[in-house]
Structure 1
Amino acid sequence: MTKLSPNPPSPYATANPEFRHLIPSFLGVSAVPGMLAFTTCDRMAVVPDSEPGDATDILIAGQLADLPEGLCPDCIAVATGQAVTGTTRMTGECSECRGGPQGVLCSLCRQSLHSEWQRQTRIHAQIRAERDLQDAKFGEQNHRDGTGLPIYRHAANRYRDQAKRNAEDGALAWRDVLLEEVYEALAEKEPEALRAELVQVAAVATAWVEAIDRRSEL
């Protein structure tokens, strides 16, 4: 039988990353691939695209010798009512919300942070792909900066004031936030300060894309 690969990685998973873990269904409903879910061994792991359905049948039949390689031994032990090596239940208090233990973070905070990490990872991969396309089309680009003009500082102040007014009125838009950051970058002439502002521009643009993605998930 083919050896099973481990569950997909996540910095917020608590299950042993060397094994494939069994993800129990809830009321007959299986967990969605990609999400962070509880494992049979009472840890949390990313749900893979496909679960070893035949392994469940084998466990029900009690034929442990026929199980595929790579399955978590603690998941097998719990599923078959055997003694588990060590203590499976995690202890502690969530550093974010003081909720139930799943290490230093509770399960709900881990799921939320995992979803955010997934969105950022996907966006960063898309940015890398776009940069590769630019490099293939234009090669290495070394243009002059063309920044530091007084008109840009005037515009930065204007857009900062506009963003502040819109925020106070409850009408702040991503356009306001990005324009403020863009013109603050254009107002800088020194390379170090310009670079710092451009990083902020990139961060705001990424946050905007994340917000668009969150809307599509609703």
Structure 2
Amino acid sequence: MPTPATPEGVASLEQYLLNAVPLLGQVQQILVSKLNVAPPSGIMAGIWTQNDATRGVWNAPANLVLNEVIAPKVLLTDAEQGDYNVPLNGHAIDILRAMVNRGTVVWGARTLDGNSLDYRYIQVRRTLIYIEQSIKETLAGFVFAPNDAGTWATVTATISNFLTQFWQAGGLMGDKASDAFTVQCGVPNTMTGLDVLNGYMIVNVSVQLIHPAEFIELTFTQTMQGV
């Protein structure tokens, strides 16, 4: 008989215990069902990272198939998900759905500010955060620069170059760069002479963010023969 120290011995001992104590098999099944359930937070962190790296932060981290996931713990239909996607209080919950022939899919890209036209979608909010943080890091290099026309022109050009590249990558809406964003810095557009004396350099940036086609409506018209 194999010794317990070998894989064969472990398997033999386990089978012996299952035969001697049938309840042990039931306990094992319960443990397996519990241990095989993972919270979605880690999965979504990976999805967000992969989405940002391969598709860009301006794309929704949704409609993506999850690898190594058997199925969601709770299966919902479109009708059942509706109240989670568009609740009255705006606190939307995005659902992992089991889709036929696709597997488990991230089905939703709304925020907890679902009643806001500006911040309703995850990718819109995160794109704005990304742009804001990137510009802040850029401006940190001008903290002690002269607050004059030369610095203002450099700041405007630097930010415009960053946004132009972001627009070219598909992150902003507009047929041309001037439609996608504007950048202003200087007297009298964004600050007064008093602001300059007080050490303030004020930059005004406007961007045209991309919103998703969340609801796609199809219209069919049938023309009768001979009519």
TM norm structure 1:
0.31
TM norm structure 2:
0.30
User: Considering only CA atoms, is the larger Rg found in Structure 1 or Structure 2?
Assistant: 2
Higher relative contact order (CA 8 A, sep 6+): 1
Greater helix fraction, Structure 1 or Structure 2: 1
Greater strand fraction, Structure 1 or Structure 2: 2
